[in-house]
Structure 1
Amino acid sequence: MGILSGLLSLPLAPVRGTVWIAEQVLDEAERQYYDAGALRRQLEEVALARDSGDLDDAEADALEEQLITRLIEANRRSRESHG
């Protein structure tokens, strides 16, 4: 039955491959989006931009809030994956 089921499911191989690739891309995108080191660097950049006057307080506050929210989620994900 293994050969028969393999032959019958062969037309679905491209779909399974495409799904696997999409999952890999999503995993990598999430890894980069929630990278704690990158988020901390971005927070530092926002602080520097605020200090230099490139960002006003409202813009900087909004960016910091978004980055801190992502950093909290990154820490939660890290705790969940480590036990």
Structure 2
Amino acid sequence: MGLVTGLLKLPFAPVYGTVWVLDQVVAAAERQHYDPEPVRAQLAALVAELEEGRISEEEFDRREDELLERLEWLEEYQRRIRAAGR
């Protein structure tokens, strides 16, 4: 039965290959989107802007709060993914 099934599925091999490639692209995009490292880099750049006097304390506080909230959300997401075994 395996040989017959394999032969019947052969015409659909390009479709299976395309689906696999799309799955890989989506997985890579998700890893990049949910990566907390860019947010940490933005926080470091924000501190540098404050130290160089390019932004005010109020602007720093506002943007820092946004970035810390985003970072907290991303780290929680990463913990849930690891707990789920993905």
Fold conserved between structures, TM > 0.5: yes
Match runs of 1:22-61 below 5 Å: 22-49=22-49, 51=50, 52-53=54-55, 56-57=59-60, 60=63, 61=65
Give the whole-Å Cα distance in 2 for the aligned partners of 1:40 and 1:70.
Answer: 11
Paired residues of 2:46 and 2:60 also in contact (CA < 8 A): no
| RMSD of aligned alpha carbons | 3.0
Identity value in percent: 38
Distance 1:71 1:47 in 2: 21
Which has more radius of gyration?
A: 2
Residue correspondences, number: 81
What are the ranges of 5 or more consecutive residues in structure 1 without an aligned counterpart? Answer: none
Q: Structure 1-normalised TM-score? A: 0.64
Structure 2 gaps of 5+ residues are none
TM-score, length-normalised on structure 2? 0.63
